[in-house]
């Protein structure tokens, strides 16, 4: 997936009939494509948290190089579900990046670490006393999509797309085909073929199996 982009993966998901594209989550600092297997974290109200462990630390400690931390942070819009020290730890472990369905903070610090964080918004206010970790390494909900540990995700300047582990081979194969066909169309345009002819022919049939 790291050789693809989110648009090709989104188109491939459409082609095979699965939902994976989410909306309203974008880079808060470093604009670099990330892709990898997922470690999940679910946040909730601080006063009902089952553990006093700092949010997301268990997932970072357990994650392997190249993994992506994905955080469900739906509890409060005024509490960050990711911050700078976590970015420092994740960057040190060479994780690919973090995606937060909700607010994150310390965008400047994450950028200094060259660590990509994608989130619904950036906010300065702390999680302390507001939210805490309720679960990790369990299924979470991101924009209505069930995301499980071990699923795949890709995120870049165009958006975020999740791919369930059991459909990954099929989606990636279709995405590779779509990307190859788009490269051929771009080459045709560069060689002087009118874009109306290029996009008026093959483009509308792009999602159909060749």
Q: Which two tokens stand for residue 209?
A: 């199996």
pLDDT higher than threshold 90 for residue 200: no
pLDDT digits (tens, 9 = 90+) for 146-184: 999 999 999 999 999 999 999 999 999 999 999 999 999
22, 32, 121, 153, 195 from 5: Cα distances, Å: 14, 11, 22, 11, 22
What would the mean pLDDT of 125-142 be, rounded to a whole number? 97
Residues 6+ apart with CB under 8 A from 156: 5, 6, 31, 32, 33, 34
**Which helix H or strand E contains 9, and what residues bound it?**
helix 6-16
DSSP secondary structure letters along 154-196: EEETTEEEEE-GGGHHHHHHHHHHHHHHHHHHHHHHHTT--HH
Asked whether 25 and 143 are in contact (CB, 8 A), the reply is yes
Strand partners, 21: 161
CB 68 within 8 A of CB 96: yes
Question: What is the residue extent of each domain of the chain?
Answer: 19-163
The rounded distance, in Å, linking the Cα atoms of 173 and 23 is 24
pLDDT tens sequence across 42-78: 999 999 999 889 999 999 999 999 999 999 999 999 9
Q: Can you tell me the distance from the alpha carbon of 96 to that of 93, in angstroms, rounded to the nearest whole number?
A: 9
| CATH number of the 19-163 domain | 3.50.30.40
Residue 48 is inside which H or E element, if any? none
Res. 206 pLDDT band, cuts 50 70 90: low
Per the CB < 8 A criterion, the answer to whether 185 and 203 are in contact is yes
pLDDT, position 52:
87
Read out DSSP for 133-164?
A: EEEESS-EEETTEEE-TT-EEEEETTEEEEE-
- Between the alpha carbon of residue 20 and those of residues 79, 154, 190, the distances in Å are 26, 10, 32
pTM for this one?
0.94
């Amino acid at each position: 997936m790291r050789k693809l982009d989110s648009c090709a993966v989104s188109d491939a998901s459409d082609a095979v009939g699965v939902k994976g594209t989410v909306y309203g989550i974008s880079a808060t600092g470093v604009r670099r494509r990330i892709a990898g297997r997922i470690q999940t974290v679910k946040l909730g109200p601080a006063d009902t948290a089952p553990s006093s462990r700092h949010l997301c630390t268990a997932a970072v400690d357990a994650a392997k190089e190249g993994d992506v931390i994905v955080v469900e942070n739906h509890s409060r819009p005024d509490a960050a579900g990711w911050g700078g020290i976590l970015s420092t730890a994740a960057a040190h472990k060479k994780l690919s990046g973090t995606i937060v369905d909700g607010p994150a903070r310390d965008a400047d610090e994450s950028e200094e670490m060259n660590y990509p964080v994608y989130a619904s918004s950036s906010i300065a206010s702390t999680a302390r006393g507001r939210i805490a970790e309720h679960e990790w390494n369990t299924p979470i909900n991101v924009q209505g999509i069930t995301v499980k540990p071990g699923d795949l995700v890709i995120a870049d300047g165009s958006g975020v797309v999740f791919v369930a582990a059991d459909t990954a081979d099929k989606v990636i194969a279709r995405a590779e085909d779509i990307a190859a066909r788009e490269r051929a169309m771009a080459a045709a345009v560069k060689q002087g073929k009118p874009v109306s002819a290029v996009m008026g022919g093959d483009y509308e049939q792009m999602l159909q199996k060749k």
